[in-house]
């Protein structure tokens, strides 16, 4: 895994933790380089419980969310993380922001990108981010796109998070990653977030269920927990994996 580069692009402050925290930590544990970009703090649409405090302000929510996600990133071992602080619900992702993401891809030069999958029944921000990250990957790989004089990137794998309300969002796992060695740290990181406590139980149960799927498919009975991702592209090679 040394030399491997993984880029994670998260719509909101906690998405990367719920949906890929174990995979990120597993990559880091094995010597990979991981960069996380958090596009927004989720102030408007993902912080409902924080707004129940009398006198709460957007700046107050921003500070809380920043503290939560920074603490979670530290637990997961993430050192390279950027907070772009876009407004959420709705998230405006026009041409300038598309080019900014493509530029970040060229600078980091990932082997693989993890972001939101194309369908999320209850979160239009997630679907927008999925689309713009896909577009940005294509642009980053295109020689005709001139971005700050940066060298064109190579084709990368693109994988989508497992969304909340999986079945309603028509999610089908394409890749299942064993996160057994990182599972306890993922649970600790998820506990940092106070406004979405229902997702702590949900993604804990999902990890255990995907661990069951991993054991059944791989025959590796040591797998306790796993995370699932959709594949934007088919798996290629000279033999079946």
Domain CATH for 60: 3.40.50.10320
Residue 238 domain flag: no
Residue 173 domain flag: yes
Residue 236 domain flag: no
Cβ proximity of 88 and 42 under 8 Å: yes
Residue 88 domain flag: yes
Average pLDDT along the chain:
97
Could you check whether the bond before residue 54 is cis, i.e. omega within 30 degrees of 0? no
- Which pLDDT band holds residue 241 (cuts at 50, 70, 90)? low
Q: Which of 83, 87, 54 is nearest to 70 (CA)?
A: 83
Residue 208 domain flag: yes
Residue 239 domain flag: no
Instruction: Give the C-alpha distances (Å, rounded to integers) separating 76 from 7, 34, 47.
Output: 15, 11, 22
The pLDDT value given to residue 1: 84
- The predicted-structure confidence for 137-192, as pLDDT tens digits, reads as follows 999 999 999 999 999 999 999 999 999 999 999 999 999 999 999 999 999 999 99
Q: Is the pTM of this model over 0.95?
A: yes
Q: Which of 34, 128, 114 is nearest to 86 (CA)?
A: 128
Range of the domain at 78: 5-231
- Which pLDDT band holds residue 240 (cuts at 50, 70, 90)? confident
The percentage of the chain sitting over the pLDDT mark of 70, rounded to a whole number, equals: 100
Tell me the C-alpha distance between 81 and 41, whole Å. Answer: 13
Over residues 17-33, the mean pLDDT reads 98
- Which pLDDT band holds residue 47 (cuts at 50, 70, 90)? very high
- Angle, helix 183-190 to helix 58-76, in steps of 10 degrees: 170
Residue 117 domain flag: yes
Domain total in the chain: 1
Residue 237 domain flag: no
Residue with tokens 């989508």: 160
Tokens of 161: 């998070």
């Amino acid at each position: 895994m040394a030399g491997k580069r993984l880029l994670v692009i998260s719509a909101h402050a906690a998405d990367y933790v719920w949906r890929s925290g174990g995979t990120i930590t597993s990559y880091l544990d094995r010597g990979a380089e991981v960069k996380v970009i958090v596009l927004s703090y989720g102030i408007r649409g993902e912080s409902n419980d924080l707004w129940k405090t009398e006198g709460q302000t957007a700046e107050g929510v921003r500070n809380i969310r920043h503290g939560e996600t920074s603490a979670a990133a530290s637990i997961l071992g993430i050192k390279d993380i950027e907070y772009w602080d876009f407004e959420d619900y709705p998230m405006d992702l026009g041409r300038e922001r598309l080019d900014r993401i493509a530029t970040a891809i060229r600078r980091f030069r990932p082997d693989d990108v993890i972001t939101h999958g194309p369908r999320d029944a209850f979160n239009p921000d997630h679907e927008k981010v999925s689309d713009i990250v896909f577009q940005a990957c294509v642009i980053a790989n295109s020689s005709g796109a001139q971005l700050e004089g940066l060298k064109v990137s190579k084709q990368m794998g693109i994988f989508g998070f497992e969304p909340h309300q999986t079945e309603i969002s028509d999610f089908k796992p394409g890749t299942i990653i064993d996160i057994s060695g990182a599972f306890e740290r993922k649970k600790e990181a998820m506990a940092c977030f106070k406004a979405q406590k229902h997702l702590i139980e949900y993604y804990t149960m999902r990890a255990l269920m995907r661990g069951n799927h991993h054991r059944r498919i791989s025959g590796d009975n040591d797998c306790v927990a796993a995370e699932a991702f959709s594949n934007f592209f088919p798996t290629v090679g000279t033999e079946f994996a």
